[in-house]
């Protein structure tokens, strides 16, 4: 029964994925990537996406949502650690060819991640909400709106980094741009922690498509003795 409901498959995929990541991280990059994909996809085998009339769409959107979010948030944390290491090691932050290229490469990755997260999130919302009014009529919709607002705030900061700070590094203002980037990265991490907290609430909140509907039936008792509701 556990396997049939998806929990067993989810645990199996998660275990195999994490083993591949641990074994392949220093030995085989492809194995580590496959393991990471399996671990992220394991969560889609169990949860709200299994309910409703659009299971396939919800599952694919869930996998894409998780993978894109992992790349975006994980890359953001690693970029912050990289910049912190450079600051502590005394690397010259004014050199745009070095630090600027690192930030620019992540900016491209983050842009793709934001687009993928947004697209998959819209698809997931479509499968879990029965109407637009569900966004404001219940707890699930309100938590979802709060999550979208925080993600939009992080996306705005990412756009500021991409269009303002990264170009500034190539115009002789690398030090000031790097200091601002360090500040915005810390703000992004804090806001994304709030997104993770809201997500943890969403996964244990029943969406409109999974709520049981009350069915009322009145059965007449034979010989005119009344009825049963």
For the chain, helix, strand, coil in percent to 5 are: 75, 0, 20
- Which residues neighbour 73 within 8 Å (Cβ) at sequence distance 6 or greater? 192
The confidence score (pLDDT) of residue 45 equals: 76
Give the integer Cα–Cα distance in Å for 116 and 53.
Answer: 23
In 3-state terms, what secondary structure has residue 221?
coil
pLDDT, tens only, 218-228 = 888 877 778 88
pTM greater than the 0.85 cutoff: no
The confidence score (pLDDT) of residue 145 equals: 92
The confidence score (pLDDT) of residue 194 equals: 92
The confidence score (pLDDT) of residue 213 equals: 57
List, run by run, the mean pLDDT of 10-residue segments along the chain (229 residues): 68 89 86 86 73 75 86 86 72 58 82 88 84 82 91 89 79 74 87 90 78 70 78
pLDDT, tens only, 185-201 = 889 889 989 998 998 88
Nearest to 69 by CA among 127, 1, 120: 120
The confidence score (pLDDT) of residue 93 equals: 47
């Amino acid at each position: 029964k556990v396997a049939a409901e998806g929990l067993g498959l989810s645990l199996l995929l998660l275990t195999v994925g994490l083993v591949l990541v641990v074994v392949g991280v220093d030995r085989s990059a492809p194995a580590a990537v496959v393991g990471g994909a399996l671990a992220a996809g394991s969560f889609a085998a169990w949860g709200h996406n299994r309910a409703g009339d659009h299971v396939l769409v919800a599952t694919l959107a869930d996998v894409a949502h998780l993978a894109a979010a992992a790349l975006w948030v994980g890359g953001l944390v690693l970029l912050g650690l990289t910049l912190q290491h450079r600051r502590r090691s005394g690397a010259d932050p004014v050199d745009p060819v070095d630090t600027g290229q690192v930030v620019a490469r992540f900016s491209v990755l983050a842009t793709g991640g934001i687009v993928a997260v947004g697209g998959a999130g819209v698809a997931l919302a479509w499968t879990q909400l029965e109407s637009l009014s569900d966004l404001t009529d219940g707890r699930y919709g309100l938590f979802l709106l709060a999550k979208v607002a925080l993600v939009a705030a992080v996306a705005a900061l990412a756009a500021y980094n991409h269009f303002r700070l990264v170009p500034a590094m190539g115009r002789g203002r690398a030090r000031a741009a790097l200091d601002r980037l360090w500040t915005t990265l810390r703000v992004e991490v804090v806001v994304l922690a709030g997104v993770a907290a809201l997500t943890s609430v969403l996964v244990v909140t029943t969406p409109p498509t999974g709520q049981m509907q009350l069915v009322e039936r009145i059965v007449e008792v034979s010989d005119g003795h009344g009825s049963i509701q």
